[in-house]
């Protein structure tokens, strides 16, 4: 356990601050990660409640618990909060902050003060998003803020757009910080191809954050300018082109999808080898596929716009590029499965979540091809099929990886172990609820139920009712999971420095880590996934 120096919980950094100040003014990447953890989980729970309210409304034909304007506001805020306050910052800001410096053998990120500033920007953006609820009516545009409606809507779109703008800045500054950290603070003996895969995925993500976020910042700025000055840049009556808005929006927002999924893949690449007691299959292939996803993923934005009006050539090109992205994604899935093949598999809650990830992400990815293909897209565009698809990827993918990461690194972050049995029960509830929640939406979408509608035809009722039931099971599972985790902080068993038998650097230091991460200079291995010692120790 912790040595005579004590963990970062006992030693604030900078040391001159105590009490609340030692958290709110800290520059320690580990404390900032915990600040993010609590704020991001709170947002997640809030947006989850909004989500379940939406599904309750849809469980029965006609108005069930809310009017259509409330419904519009709820799905907009559910989307805005889940995307800008949970999925995009979630894994990089919590696990990236906590683990990236440790993974590369550094004492902190390169710009510790900027790191804290990013958290404050994040909180400011969140506060503005909440403020938009209480002034002039919450926004009702959907998280995409499409023109012309976002320009003519009387609700407080400006405030929400400003919130998203500030959150973008927070995300971009974190990206700059992480890239510089990797380049300047990587332990001298650690070559690029000796870096753990999670560090690699955060690094690749950071580049997307830095290069794609300015586009959405600009797009949101233009929405604000249009709302305040009315230059007519997107108004067809005055020469503007509303489709251009959609292009600008998706030029960021599609790469943002990869900001959401790449770090999740990084987590899976860490969990699978540890519990297979086997070196990751195709280390370099996974690294290169991360970079390939980052690059190719930036070139497919217009596949969200097949029905908006584009030339056939453009549709063909974007469809082809979309299929290209599937290749590096599949490389990863095959690598994970090949890692488990003939491994000495040890079932634990993190591995359980990782396995759910592989299954759910694959379904999400394959249905993505249905949408990415120009033909079938016309049939299912803007239906519940799309809703089911991106929830499979964003929640079944990133969400499950996030839960898996929480269970994997919880003992490292807090030095406490949660109850396995409760963790399994919650994981099963979430997974079963998930399937019941989203599979009906695929069928509803295929049979023509549009997304974002407050009401529907009676023939869609069975599917919507089932989805609602699944939603409740899922919410129960998620609540149980967080309860189990947070209760462990009080009476959980103390965790060893290396409870799983990991090989990356975080497992070589105490749980929780000391304030400078390592008591002595960490030993850099020639390969981060060499399990020969672990195998001897645990078997």
Chain residues that interact with other proteins, rule: CB under 8 A: 13, 106-108, 110-111, 172, 175-177, 179-180, 183-185, 210-215, 217-219, 221-222, 225, 229-233, 237-241, 244, 247-248, 251, 515-516, 518, 520-521
Least Å from the CB of residue 319 to other proteins = 21
Least Å from the CB of residue 318 to other proteins = 16
The DSSP bridge partners found for residue 450 are: 383
CB-side neighbour CA atoms (13 Å) of 441 = 29
Q: Would you give the DSSP letter of residue 416?
A: E
Judged by CB, which is closer to other proteins: 19, or 239? 239
Q: Which two tokens stand for residue 404?
A: 């898996």
Judged by CB, which is closer to other proteins: 1, or 221? 221
Judged by CB, which is closer to other proteins: 94, or 172? 172
Q: Would you give the DSSP letter of residue 298?
A: G
Judged by CB, which is closer to other proteins: 21, or 232? 232
Least Å from the CB of residue 222 to other proteins = 7
Judged by CB, which is closer to other proteins: 242, or 501? 242
Residue closest to 146 by CA, chosen among 317, 303, 305 = 305
Least Å from the CB of residue 96 to other proteins = 16
Judged by CB, which is closer to other proteins: 241, or 382? 241
Whole-angstrom CA distances from 103 to 392, 400, 502, 505 are 29, 22, 12, 5
How many whole angstroms separate alpha carbon 420 and alpha carbon 127?
A: 36
DSSP β-ladder status, 416-417 and 493-494: antiparallel
How many whole angstroms separate alpha carbon 537 and alpha carbon 501?
A: 8
The residues, ordered by sequence, that sit 6+ positions from 152 with a Cβ below 8 Å of its Cβ are: none
Least Å from the CB of residue 521 to other proteins = 5
Least Å from the CB of residue 348 to other proteins = 32
Least Å from the CB of residue 26 to other proteins = 11
Least Å from the CB of residue 306 to other proteins = 19
Question: 492-507 burial, b for 16+ CB within 10 Å, e for fewer?
Answer: beebebbbbbbbbbbb
The residues, ordered by sequence, that sit 6+ positions from 85 with a Cβ below 8 Å of its Cβ are: 40, 43, 47, 122, 125, 126, 129, 167
Q: What is the C-alpha end-to-end distance of the chain, expressed in Å? A: 22
Longest dimension (CA), the chain: 74
Judged by CB, which is closer to other proteins: 238, or 494? 238
How many whole angstroms separate alpha carbon 59 and alpha carbon 469?
A: 9
How many whole angstroms separate alpha carbon 203 and alpha carbon 210?
A: 11
Judged by CB, which is closer to other proteins: 103, or 389? 103
Least Å from the CB of residue 442 to other proteins = 35
Whole-angstrom CA distances from 518 to 28, 86, 188, 202, 472 are 14, 30, 15, 21, 43
Judged by CB, which is closer to other proteins: 219, or 290? 219
The DSSP bridge partners found for residue 7 are: 514
Least Å from the CB of residue 5 to other proteins = 11
Q: How far is CA 354 from the centre of its chain?
A: 14
Judged by CB, which is closer to other proteins: 130, or 185? 185
């Amino acid at each position: 356990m912790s040595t005579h120096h004590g963990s970062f919980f006992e030693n604030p950094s900078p040391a001159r601050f105590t009490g609340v100040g030692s958290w709110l003014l800290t520059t320690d990447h580990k404390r900032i990660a915990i600040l993010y953890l609590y704020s991001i989980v709170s947002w997640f729970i809030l947006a989850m409640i909004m989500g379940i309210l939406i599904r309750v409304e849809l469980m029965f034909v006609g108005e069930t618990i809310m009017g259509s304007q409330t419904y519009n506001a709820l799905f907009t805020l559910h989307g805005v909060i889940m995307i800008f306050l949970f999925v995009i910052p979630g894994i990089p800001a919590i696990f990236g902050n906590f683990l990236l410096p440790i993974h590369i053998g550094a004492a902190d990120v390169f710009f510790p003060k900027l790191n804290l500033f990013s958290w404050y920007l994040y909180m400011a953006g969140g506060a503005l998003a909440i403020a938009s609820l209480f002034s002039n009516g919450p926004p009702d545009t959907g998280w995409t803020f499409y023109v012309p409606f976002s320009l003519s809507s009387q609700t407080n779109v400006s405030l929400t757009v400003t919130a998203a703008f500030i959150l973008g800045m927070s995300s971009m500054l974190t990206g700059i910080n992480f890239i510089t950290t990797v380049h300047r603070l990587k332990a001298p003996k650690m070559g690029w191809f000796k870096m753990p895969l999670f560090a690699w995925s955060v690094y690749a993500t950071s580049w997307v954050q830095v290069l794609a976020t300015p586009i959405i910042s600009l797009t949101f700025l233009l929405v604000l300018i249009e709302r305040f000055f009315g230059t007519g840049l997107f108004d067809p009556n005055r020469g503007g082109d509303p489709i251009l808005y959609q292009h600008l929006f998706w030029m960021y927002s599609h790469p943002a999808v990869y900001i959401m999924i790449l770090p999740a893949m990084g987590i899976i690449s860490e969990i699978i080898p540890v519990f297979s007691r086997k070196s990751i299959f195709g280390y370099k292939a996974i690294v290169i596929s991360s970079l390939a996803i980052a690059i190719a993923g930036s070139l497919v934005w217009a596949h969200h716009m097949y029905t908006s009006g584009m030339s056939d050539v453009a549709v063909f090109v974007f469809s082809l590029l979309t299929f290209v992205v599937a290749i590096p994604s599949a490389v990863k899935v095959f690598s994970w499965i090949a890692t488990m093949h003939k491994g000495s598999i040890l079932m634990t809650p993190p591995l359980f979540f990782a396995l759910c990830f592989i299954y759910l992400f694959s379904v999400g990815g394959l249905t993505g091809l249905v949408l990415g293909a120009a033909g079938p897209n016309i049939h299912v565009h803007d239906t519940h099929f799309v809703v089911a698809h991106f929830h499979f990827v964003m929640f079944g993918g990133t969400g499950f990886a996030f839960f898996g990461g929480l269970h994997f690194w919880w003992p490292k972050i807090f030095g406490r172990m949660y109850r396995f049995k409760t963790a399994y029960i919650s994981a099963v509830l979430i997974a079963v609820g998930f399937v019941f929640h989203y599979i009906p939406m695929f069928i509803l979408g295929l049979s023509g139920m549009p997304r974002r509608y407050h009401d529907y035809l009676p023939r869609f009722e069975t599917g919507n009712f089932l989805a609602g039931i699944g939603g409740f099971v899922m919410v129960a599972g998620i609540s149980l999971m967080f309860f189990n985790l947070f209760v462990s902080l009080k009476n959980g068993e103390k965790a060893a420095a290396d409870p799983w038998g990991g090989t990356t650097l975080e497992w070589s230091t105490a749980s929780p880590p000391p304030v400078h991460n390592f008591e002595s200079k960490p030993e850099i291995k020639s390969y981060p996934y060499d399990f020969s010692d672990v195998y001897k120790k645990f078997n």
